[in-house]
Amino acid sequence: MIAALVQKDVKLFFRNQFFALITAMGLVFYLLIYFLLPADVEETLPFAVFVEDMPADVALAEVPLGDGLAVSTFDSEESLIQALQNGDYMAGLVLSAETMAAIGQGEAATLNVYYAPGTPSEMRGAVDSMLGSALNAHMLPPDAAAAGIDRVTEVVGLNVDGPLSMRDRILPTLVLMILAIEVMGLATLIVEEIEHGTAQALLITPLGTGQFFASKAVMGMGLAFVQVFLIMLLSGGLLVAPLLVTLALLLGCLLITGFSFIIAAIARDMMSVIAWGMMGLIILVLPSLAIVFPTMGSGWMDYIPSHYLIDTLHRAINAGATLGDVTANLLTLLVIGAGTLVLGSMVLRRRFA
């Protein structure tokens, strides 16, 4: 009997085209996400080095800076910093001729070490120690006393004062989670209006379709904005850069309203809104992983629209970024947000038609 019921349920499940589609798409989608994420374990640390006036007879690859460092050389200090800012390397060392000479003579020397934004403090400490030991061992004559090495470390890109607490790292993610949930809320509201026929009743009054959409956009943006604004206000994030954060939040709300419209256009009921919404939520949240867990970032995550919101908020509240620092982010967010809203309105209008 149970087998018969199970058989019946399987049949009914796959006769429902939506669930059949979402099951198949889900499998493909989640596998895609899985395979897009880096598969290799990073056993070596990508490390950038610039040596000023490097003697022609010294091959840097021979310098045993330490096991686990994958060393690349650069032509200038500027290009090294740029590579770190791009996220290609986690740490970089600049060795001036003066420094090399001092170490070689066993004298006190100062090392300039740069770190990419988000490098954990533990990692920085480990690299600093490793560099000191390696340079002493390589450059000093055998049995010579170790040179005193002072390290000047600098984090390039974001000007983060000291290590970030988990709550500071996770704040932009929380904002994004709220917005993503709001995507589902607004999409459900619209789908219910369509399914229950109330939209039909509204549109038979002098209310136009454009006004109907506008009301939903205002509602979606308003509701989302109030929530994220409160979160930022109560957490103190808003106080760091009120204008910048508010602007970023507004643009984020614009983006999610567009997504809501798209989901409302393709979803048939609340369940399908949740199914589509979860897919969207996973995608939107991915860029925030790079901030919460700095070593987890991947370059392709920058192509996800929410990256521009997350990155802006992170820079504004955790690194004291100014409007000039994040203008490109905000403009990109504005263009993508407006584009998504226009696209969403178009596909939703087709459903109404």
Partner 1 sequence: MAQPAISAQDLTYRYGDLVAVDHVSFDVAEGEVLGFLGPNGAGKSTSVKILTGQLRPAEGKALLLGQDITRRTNAVQAHIGVSFETTNLYEQMTAVENLNLFARLFGIHDFKAGPLLEKVGLGGRDKERVANYSKGMKQRLMLARALVNNPRILFLDEPTDGLDPVSSQTVHAIIREAADKGTTVFLTTHDMVEADKLSNRVAFINRGQIVALDTPARLKREYGKRAILVEVEMADGDTEVREITLDNGDTPQMLHDLFQSERIVTVHSEEATLEDIFVEITGRGLHG
CA dihedral 315, 318, 323, 326 (to 10 degrees): 0
Instruction: Choose, by CB under 8 A, the member of 55, 141, 162, 206 that binds partner 1.
Output: 206
**Are 179 and 224 a contacting pair, CB within 8 Å?**
yes
Q: Please, is 290 exposed, middle or buried when counting C-beta atoms within 10 Å of its C-beta (0-12, 13-18, 19+)?
A: buried
Instruction: Choose, by CB under 8 A, the member of 198, 222, 299, 300 that binds partner 1.
Output: 198
Rounded to a whole number of angstroms, the minimum distance from the CB of residue 199 to partner 1 is 8
User: Could you tell me which of 87, 268, 277 has the C-alpha nearest to residue 186?
Assistant: 277
User: C-alpha distances in angstroms, 141 versus 65, 105, 130, 147, 289?
Assistant: 16, 9, 18, 11, 46
Instruction: Choose, by CB under 8 A, the member of 204, 234, 303, 324 that binds partner 1.
Output: 204
Query: Residue 203 in 3-state DSSP?
Result: coil
Which segment (20-28, 204-212, 268-276, 339-347) binds partner 1 by CB under 8 A?
Answer: 204-212
Instruction: Choose, by CB under 8 A, the member of 16, 79, 200, 322 that binds partner 1.
Output: 200
Q: Smaller CB distance to partner 1: residue 142 or 206? A: 206
Rounded to a whole number of angstroms, the minimum distance from the CB of residue 202 to partner 1 is 7
Q: Smaller CB distance to partner 1: residue 142 or 205? A: 205
Which segment (125-133, 205-213, 231-239, 340-348) binds partner 1 by CB under 8 A?
Answer: 205-213
149-155, strands of its sheet edge to edge: 69-73, 45-51, 91-95, 109-115, 149-155
Q: Of all helices (H) and strands (E), which one includes residue 47?
A: strand 45-51
208 lines the binding site for partner 1 (CB under 8 A): yes
240 lines the binding site for partner 1 (CB under 8 A): no
DSSP string of 52-100, one letter each residue = TT--TT--GGGS---TTEEEEE-SSHHHHHHHHHTTS-SEEEEE-HHHH
202 lines the binding site for partner 1 (CB under 8 A): yes
205 lines the binding site for partner 1 (CB under 8 A): yes
Rounded to a whole number of angstroms, the minimum distance from the CB of residue 200 to partner 1 is 6
Rounded to a whole number of angstroms, the minimum distance from the CB of residue 20 to partner 1 is 24
**Are 71 and 87 a contacting pair, CB within 8 Å?**
no
Which segment (101-109, 202-210, 254-262, 269-277) binds partner 1 by CB under 8 A?
Answer: 202-210
196 lines the binding site for partner 1 (CB under 8 A): yes
Q: Smaller CB distance to partner 1: residue 197 or 324? A: 197
Q: Smaller CB distance to partner 1: residue 59 or 207? A: 207
**Are 168 and 313 a contacting pair, CB within 8 Å?**
no
Residues that bind partner 1 (CB under 8 A): 196-198, 200-208
